[in-house]
Amino acid sequence: MTFDVDRKNKQIHVEREFAAPVETVWSAWTQSEFLDQWWAPKPWKAETKIMDFRVGGRWLYAMVSPDGNKHWSLTEYKSVAPQKNYTGLVMFCDESGNANADTPRSLWNNTFNADGDSTVVDILIKFDKLEDLEMLVGMGFEGGFKMGLSNLDELLEKK
């Protein structure tokens, strides 16, 4: 995976090759039955409530913690060129999909390039400010990790 931070333009550029043809990789990124299997960093799980993959459509899903807490997120699809590219505005929201105006948004521009039997996905993420990363990673790592540890504490207490 290549990972470049462009501080001046407040964006991150990522490239990653996947060992599957472009149709398969595209499906894995755009269909909720697949997204739910890989989008959440373990031990969290992604649970889709609404998936409407088209321009103007939305993906509303929850990241579910090991003890069942749900953190809701929304992607609004801005453009779609099948098996080539899509852009989506990502934000936090409530379970009805009402965006939380106080939390950061990021714009994802994902391009899929076939390379024989493999696919290279080119991801450009644009932030309002790079400090927003604190929030983006906060729950995924520290929150999840701490939660994992507190589960362990509970288990140990029961013993």
Partner 1 sequence: MQPIGCVNSSHQMKRDVFQAIADPTRRAILLLLATQALTPNALAEHFDSTRQAVSKHIKVLSEADLVKQKKVGREIFYEVNATQMKQIEKWIEKFKGLLENRFAQLDDVLSKLKNK
Binding site for partner 1 (CB under 8 A): 1, 3, 5, 7-8, 10, 12, 14, 16, 18-20, 24-25, 27-28, 34, 37-42, 44, 63, 71-73, 75, 90, 92, 100, 103, 106, 108, 123, 125, 129-131, 133-144
**Shortest Å, Cβ 155 to partner 1:** 23
In one letter, which amino acid is 70?
K
Placement of tokens 């507190």 in the chain: 150
Tokens of 68: 């069942």
Of 38, 36, 19, 26, nearest in space to 85 by CA: 26
Contact yes or no for 64/44 (Cβ under 8 A): yes
**Shortest Å, Cβ 153 to partner 1:** 21
C-beta closer to partner 1: residue 42 or 159: 42
Tokens of 28: 């894995």
Q: How far apart are CA 116 and CA 137, in angstroms?
A: 33
C-beta closer to partner 1: residue 129 or 159: 129
**Shortest Å, Cβ 158 to partner 1:** 27
